[in-house]
A and B are shown apart, each in its own frame.
Chain A
Amino acid sequence: MTVTVDKKMRDWHVAQTVELGAPAKEVWDLIGGFYTLHKWHPDILKTDIPPEQTETSAVRRLLTFPGQPTTTEELIMMDNEHFHYTYRWHAGAWGEKVQKYVASLRVIDIDDGRRSIVQWSSTFYYFEDALHEFYWNGFRALQKRFPLPPK
């Protein structure tokens, strides 16, 4: 008997959030830069600036994952005042499978700035939610750094 897995490609829009025990400004200090992903996300070994960066006005980052090909992402916009940036896949094997990837990372103050929420959202074209685990690996690391106060 053969089991057929439904791999029908479709457009996805996913949004994950995590609540942290620190003000948005403090969280943004860590996650806000475009070259800082490796400093807080355990699945990223390093963030480099691509060699061609000096030749282009686009701001790009080269992400190295353990045992996988590198991915280049391009910044669309960064708003430091509102703790928010948006980026898209630019080059690398991953984005040839998970297509049209555009994502946003945003930090929002709650509880009069005593706590904050990080929202990581994206749109892409694939047969399943390809980002859930990756986002939560990052969120769990942030929860360890910025734990919520005991209730």
Chain B
Amino acid sequence: MLMNTTPIPELMESRIEDRHTMKWLRNALQSAITLEFSTLPPYLTALWSIKNETDPVAISIREVVQEEMQHMGFVCNMLTAIGGKPQIAGQVPEYPAKGLPGGVMPDLVVDIDGLSQDSLVTFMTIEQPEIDVMTGKRPDLWKPGGYSTIGEFYDAIAAAFKELKPTLTPVGQVIGPRTGWSITSLDSVQRAINTIKEQGEGSSGKSPVDLDPSDWSHYYRFAEVQKGREIVPVPGQKDKWMYGDQPLPFPDVWPVVKLPKGGYDRDRVLGAVSHLMDQFDKAYTALIDELQNTWTNGDQAALWRAIEAMFAMQEHALALMKTPRYDGKGTYVPRWRYLAAEPQRRSS
């Protein structure tokens, strides 16, 4: 999921294969880590663009972000379990991005933008189930050699685990409420994959709920906001759902405009804005470095430091979202740049 569209060999290795190898599995898991991580910048930007943090939509998206963090934790543990080394700092996505890592939805463009009808459509596409139980529609982003849903990609990973039956070691895994359980058996792999799929797209394409019957999966959470109506059970019918009459008001958002391709024009960005962007990127870099520390060193405390970094990011992001752009087109969004990766960058 990278701004320059040059294919990255490691990510392309996880293309659809008839037979899997350990190399394929390692690459696919690394792609899945990058994929889960890559949802955080667009989701967090949309979340922070909501003026009222306690708006039901903000609460719902915040839960989605927390679950994405846990999904990443699951996959980091899976890769660690087979002797791999999760790379977070080395695989930082850039935006706007074309396609999701691992060959998932290769034509999907993901922008950094505030919460809007457009961004909701993108989020629903990212989380799309095999069948939308509300509309009966199937995804239309299928491309030969690619996966049409994230769930399909995880099914391939689950199949590879079953096929290869790799030795699974608990050494180096990080266990906790934000990272999931220990991956030491094929059953624990499958449970983790089921959790990722059901929290993302719903219960096996049959229901909008995730594992918790009172929670909608990510796709349907975004769908409710996009429709402006809450999902409710169809009266008198078991396991049937519809958009009810209860409105779900679209929250008041800061007037942000999506991040331009190639970033902002450094010569036109005010010094105060440039400072905010730099401070945001420093906090983002701290987040990534702490996440990397978490799995490089099996350090649970680093994970909490990463979460602290996220609060600093939010403060700078909010200041940017309240500041008009140099071209008069709305306000700024963060650039989401990892500073250690390419220190030679000059543009804003």
Contacts and interface: CB of A to CB of B under 8 A. Distances in A.
Contacts of A35: 276, 319
Contacts of B254: 54
B323 A78 contact: no
Contacts of B319: 35, 49
A85 B271 contact: yes
Given A33-B276, A33-B279, A80-B278, A54 B322 contact: yes
B324 interface: yes
Q: How large, as a class, is the contact surface on chain A?
A: 10 to 19
A85 B270 CA distance: 11
B165 interface: no
Interface in B305-346: 318-319, 322-324, 328, 331
A85 B279 CA distance: 16
Nearest to B328: A57
A53 B331 CA distance: 10
B272 interface: yes
A121 B266 CA distance: 28
Nearest to A33: B275
Interface in A79-125: 79-80, 85
Contacts, number: 47
A53 B322 contact: yes
B274 A59 contact: no
Interface residues of B, number: 19
A32 interface: yes
B275 A32 contact: yes
B255 interface: yes
Given A33-B279, A49-B322, A80 B271 contact: yes
Nearest to A81: B271
A64 to B, nearest CB: 16
Interface string B265-293: 00000111111101100100000000000
B255 A78 contact: no
A33 B272 contact: yes
Contacts of A12: none
Contacts of A79: 271
A9 interface: no
Interface of B: 254-255, 270-276, 278-279, 282, 318-319, 322-324, 328, 331
Given A33-B276, A59-B270, 14 more contacts: A29-B279, A34-B272, A34-B275, A35-B319, A49-B318, A49-B323, A56-B324, A57-B324, A57-B328, A78-B270, A78-B271, A78-B274, A80-B275, A80-B278
21 contacts: A29-B279, A32-B275, A33-B272, A33-B276, A33-B279, A34-B272, A35-B276, A49-B322, A49-B323, A53-B324, A54-B255, A55-B324, A59-B270, A59-B272, A59-B323, A79-B271, A80-B271, A80-B274, A80-B275, A80-B278, A85-B271
